[in-house]
Amino acid sequence: MISNYRTALVTGASSGIGEAIVRSLTEHGLIVHAIARRAARLQKLENETGCIPHVLDLRDTDALYHTLNPLEVDVLVNNAGMGRGFDTLFKASREDIERTLETNIIATVHVIKAIAPGMIKRGCGHMIHIGSISGLYPLTSSIYGASKGAIHLLSQNLRKELVGTPVRNTEICPGRVHTEFFETALDDPDKQKAMLDSFELLQPSDIAESVIFALKMPKRVNINTIEIMPTEQAVGGFIAKKIQ
Ligand SMILES: NC(=O)c1ccc[n+]([C@@H]2O[C@H](COP(=O)([O-])OP(=O)(O)OC[C@H]3O[C@@H](n4cnc5c(N)ncnc54)[C@H](OP(=O)(O)O)[C@@H]3O)[C@@H](O)[C@H]2O)c1
């Protein structure tokens, strides 16, 4: 058990960071609702952790409210996300643009609207949003960066909306993590491999540990933002090219 939190909901629980967070929260004794589209993955996770699976496409807003409205959740982890159109906005398809923005921003806002009022009413809750360093710095991925930049300011503004309530709110901004993210984002296997193999990446369990860190702090402490990167990765730099 962490603090007086009994229940949690993790979106994007079928792989990577979300799966690691479900494992960690269940190990800490929480009842965890796990959300994703891939039923077989959730079934396996249920068998291994005892989490409660909900097969749900978060882009289906009616289904989202139908599934989430009845739940009483103390810890909400907004983790589901993707980076289609990762290379360049100019070459991205309309579908890739919409999938990324709808999943990363619109669905996240609806999940918060479905869950946060219950936390405020009960006077108990902690929201964790998985952002990205792409939401803090320009990293040449306009669509994905815009979606995570939106999560950054969503989280910062939620802090203000929540002042006067005991509900806490944390954004975690990882650098590169070894997950299936790049398989989904990039079609070219060489580019996928380059993203995973070029240096030692974070592991999903590293992000899960940072979640537990934020949750375990005394109730007077709100961890606003955690920026967490591989030791072998850093941001910064300057780019300039003559107009051809
Ligand atoms: N990997 C990185 O380097 C990195 C760095 C910074 C931030 N992040 C962020 O971390 C979060 C988790 O990504 P990951 O790296 O763990 O990648 P991942 O392994 O691809 O996980 C993405 C998760 O999101 C779920 N998801 C995607 N679309 C969904 C939808 N419409 N409805 C329900 N679930 C959906 C996927 O489940 P289904 O496909 O089964 O639905 C999957 O469980 C994302 O928000 C990502 O932007 C990742």
pLDDT digits (tens, 9 = 90+) for 27-42: 999 999 999 999 999 9
The SS3 call for residue 176 is coil
Distance 181 CA to ligand 1 centre (A): 6
* Percent of the chain scoring above 90 in pLDDT: 96
244 pLDDT more than 90 = no
Helix axes 142-162, 107-122, angle to 10 degrees: 20
Q: Cβ of 240: how many Cβ atoms within 10 Å?
A: 4
Active site residue 144: yes
Q: Full-prediction pTM beyond 0.85?
A: yes
Kindly give the number of the ligand 1 atom that is closest to the alpha carbon of 11: 34
Distance 118 CA to ligand 1 centre (A): 25
The SS3 call for residue 17 is helix
Distance 144 CA to ligand 1 centre (A): 12
Q: Summarize the confidence of residues 209-235 as an average pLDDT.
A: 98
Distance 167 CA to ligand 1 centre (A): 25
Helix (H) or strand (E) holding 113: helix 107-122
Decide if domain 7-228 falls under CATH 3.40.50.720: yes
* Bridge partner residues of 54 (DSSP): 35
* Percent of the chain scoring above 70 in pLDDT: 100
**How high is the mean pLDDT of the chain?**
97
Question: For atom 20 of ligand 1, which residue has the closest CA?
Answer: 181
Residues with CB under 6 A from ligand 1: 11-18, 35-38, 41, 56-59, 79-82, 103, 130, 132, 174, 176-177, 179-181, 184
Kindly give the number of the ligand 1 atom that is closest to the alpha carbon of 104: 45
Catalytic residue among 5, 65, 137, 144: 144
Question: For atom 44 of ligand 1, which residue has the closest CA?
Answer: 81
Domain ranges of the chain: 7-228
163 pLDDT more than 90 = yes
33-70 confidence digits (pLDDT tens)? 999 999 999 999 999 999 999 999 999 999 999 999 99
Q: Give the per-residue pLDDT at 196.
A: 96
Q: Give the per-residue pLDDT at 115.
A: 98
In the block, residue with structure tokens 């004794």: 29
1 pLDDT more than 90 = no
- Give the burial class of 114: count Cβ atoms within 10 A of its Cβ; 0-12 exposed, 13-18 middle, 19 or more buried: buried
140 pLDDT more than 90 = no
